[in-house]
Amino acid sequence: MFPETGKAVVKVLERLGHTVDFPAGQTCCGQMHWNTGYQAEALPLVGRFVEQFRHAEAVVVPSSSCVAMMRDHYPKMAEEIGDRKLIAEVAELLPHVYEFSEFLTVRLGLKDVGAYYPHRVTYHASCHGLRNLGLGDGPLELLRAVKGIDLIQIENMEQCCGFGGTFAVKNADVSSAMLAEKTTAVLNTGAEACTACDNSCLMHIQGALHRQRTGVQTVHLAEILAGSEGDVL
């Protein structure tokens, strides 16, 4: 759905000297099903994930909520399936799964990834990254090290944008009211773009920013970190 993010992740990682692979068989972590109550539909996706990624040294995922899904629920889901081998494999694989910014700051211990992005940007702390993964200030530190960036603090950075997966359609009115608060906060910063570690939040925020013809863009953190001086921006 968001090819630019994937490309940006590849660009950043290769710039840092890593070899990237994309197992073609991968699909989805199962979060939507699990969180909406369709446990049975989500269960087979655990095995599928292990199948695809078991040989990786590190699995880098540019979506905090997908990582949260795996960390918080995959062990339990494997138990539920009752497959001893799968339980062991999940336990083995999970420590190697990283959210993108977390891979950079925690696994690689980096702040400056040599990016250049001469724009006014504000950062929204996605719920799952903030609370389930405990990303803390990691993403902000990466952003602060970007050359040329004008980073502006948003009001109530940690407040949910109202997406919540199927929540946005099941409780559309409440979700819209929450979103309105978030977009107002974004607009108050005067930023050209709003960034985050999760495209689901960004798709949600972007949906309203576009509807309101604000001209403010949303970009995934990876796309900012992929920016370099040679780019035509």
Partner 1 sequence: MNSENSVLDPKTSPTFPIAARATLGDTQLRKNVRHATEVIQNKRARVVAEMPDWQQLRESGRQIRQHTMANLETYLEEFERNCIRAGGTVHWARDGEEAKRIVTTLAKTYASQQNPEVIKIKSMTTEEIHLNVALEAAGVKAYETDLAELIIQLGHDQPSHIVVPALHKNRQQIREIFQREMNLPELGEKPQDLADAARKFLREKFLRVNTAVSGANFLIAETGGVCIVESEGNGRMCLTLPETLITIAGIDKVLPRFEDLEVMLQLLPRSATGERMNPYNSIWTGVHAGDGPKNFHVVLMDNARSEVLADSEGRQTLNCIRCGACQNACPVYRQTGGHAYGSVYAGPIGAILTPQLQQLHHAQSLPYASSLCGACYEVCPVKINIPEVLIHLRNKVVKQKGPLNPEALAMKMAGTLFRSERRFRAAQRLGRFAETPLVRRDGSGDGWIGWLPGLLGGWTQVRDLREMPKETFRDWWEKRGKRGN
Closest to partner 1 by CB, 105 or 218: 218
Q: Which is nearer to partner 1, 27 or 153 (CB)?
A: 27
Please give the distance of CA 75 from its chain centroid, rounded to a whole number: 21
173 near partner 1, rule: CB under 8 A: yes
Nearer to partner 1, 151 or 216 (CB): 216
**Residue 34 is a binding residue for partner 1 (CB under 8 A):** yes
Subset of residues 113 to 132 that bind partner 1, contact rule: CB under 8 A: 127-128, 130-132
DSSP per residue, 180-205? HHHHHHHHHHT-SEEEES-HHHHHHH
Nearer to partner 1 (CB atom), residue 130 or residue 151? 130
Residue among 25, 69, 189, 36 nearest 121 (CA): 189
Residue 222: count other Cβ atoms within 10 Å of its Cβ: 28
Q: Tell me whether residue 69 or residue 115 sits nearer to partner 1 (CB atom).
A: 69
Round to whole Å and give the CA distance between 224 and 219.
7
* Residue 162 binds partner 1 (CB under 8 A): yes
Q: Binding to partner 1 by residue 21, rule CB under 8 A?
A: yes
Indicate whether 180 belongs to the interface with partner 1 (CB under 8 A): yes
Compare residues 90 and 178 and give the one whose CB is closer to partner 1.
Answer: 178
Question: Taking the C-alpha atoms of 71, 12, 135 and 77 in order, what is their torsion angle to the nearest 10 degrees?
Answer: -10
Beta carbons of 200 and 177 less than 8 angstroms apart: no
Which CB sits closer to partner 1, 86 or 151? 86
Residue 177: CB atoms within 10 A of its CB come to 11
Cα(10)–Cα(19) distance, rounded to whole angstroms? 9
Name the residue among 88, 98, 81, 99 with its Cα closest to residue 43: 81
Closest approach of partner 1 to the CB of residue 40, in Å: 8
Q: Is 79 in the site for partner 1 (CB under 8 A)?
A: no
Tell me the closest approach of the beta carbon of residue 45 to partner 1, in angstroms. Answer: 6
How far out from the chain centre does Cα 112 lie? 19
CA-to-CA distance for 149 and 107, rounded, in angstroms?
Answer: 24
Out of 39, 71, 110, 150, the residue judged to bind partner 1 by CB under 8 A:
39
Residue 166 sits in the site that holds partner 1 (CB under 8 A): yes
Site for partner 1 contains 12 (CB under 8 A)? no
Residues of the shown chain interacting with partner 1 in the complex, contacts defined by CB under 8 A: 1-3, 5-7, 10, 14, 20-22, 24-28, 30, 32-39, 41-42, 44-45, 48, 72, 127-128, 130-132, 158-160, 162-180, 203-204, 206-208, 210-211
